[in-house]
Amino acid sequence: MRKILITGGFGKIAKHFVQNYNKKYEITVADILTNKEIFTKNVRIEKADLMDYSICSKLCEGIDTVIHLAGIVDPISESDKILETNIKITQNIFKSAVKLKCKRLIFASSAQTIESYPKDIQVNKNMLVRPKNIYGVSKCFGEALASYYAHNNEISAICLRIGAYEFPKDFIEMNARDLSAFLHPDDLNQLLIGCIETEDIKYEVLNAISDNRYKRLDITESIERVGYRPKADAFELFKLKKE
């Protein structure tokens, strides 16, 4: 049974994954805030400040795969704290994973890394990063850092450019961009399984959105490299008529 560490373990992405796969993997969730009532007893819970490198090192002991979801998610603010926090905790976790000989890093990057491209252009992973905000810049750093460690150490890394992750029941209103970048939670869970289980990957940047009729991001390589099989289509799910 693989041992998985998930940072940002009480965020909505982590909770949905852990609640569905806590019997498939031996999971440790780490977060600065915790609530033991959320998970079953077989999930290890660690309250952790990832700004402290020594804490990150302890978390990575005996871990096979690190799923790094922690960080400040804020595409609007230009606060220096976003860079300071996201860069520091990402460096701490990645460096610890390498030092403790973890086998794989899975990094929650973002579609915000490319959001300065015009809305009518579909972006693939081979296009240069073009962030539109400081949050996107922090994710570009994470992708570069993952590449550095993967190509210079005995660890593999996968960066997922996550789109508009939403539970359909929480849907209120989405603009055209959000619909084209929509990511159903069940689709991301299936993609994460592929990223955990697929062998022979050194470094990849993969786009993470659902099978939307119009796609902001090209998911071809996600399908080919890790067997991604998204089922949701935002335009169908939210009953938008074809033009």
CA-wise closest residue to 128 among 109, 115, 138, 145: 115
* Cα gap 50→85, rounded to integer Å: 9
Residues 6+ apart with CB under 8 A from 197: 226
- Predicted local distance difference test score (pLDDT) of residue 230: 98
Identify any residues that bridge with 159 across adjacent strands, giving them in sequence order.
107, 205
Give this prediction's pTM. 0.95
Residues 6+ apart with CB under 8 A from 56: 48, 50, 89, 92, 93, 95, 96
Domain ranges of the chain: 3-237
* Cα gap 99→101, rounded to integer Å: 5
- Predicted local distance difference test score (pLDDT) of residue 182: 96
CA-wise closest residue to 139 among 218, 183, 74: 74
* Cα gap 225→228, rounded to integer Å: 8
pLDDT mean values, one per 10 residues, the chain (243 residues):
96 95 96 83 93 98 98 94 97 98 98 96 94 97 98 98 94 83 98 98 98 97 98 88 49
CATH architecture of 3-237: 3-Layer(aba) Sandwich (3.40)
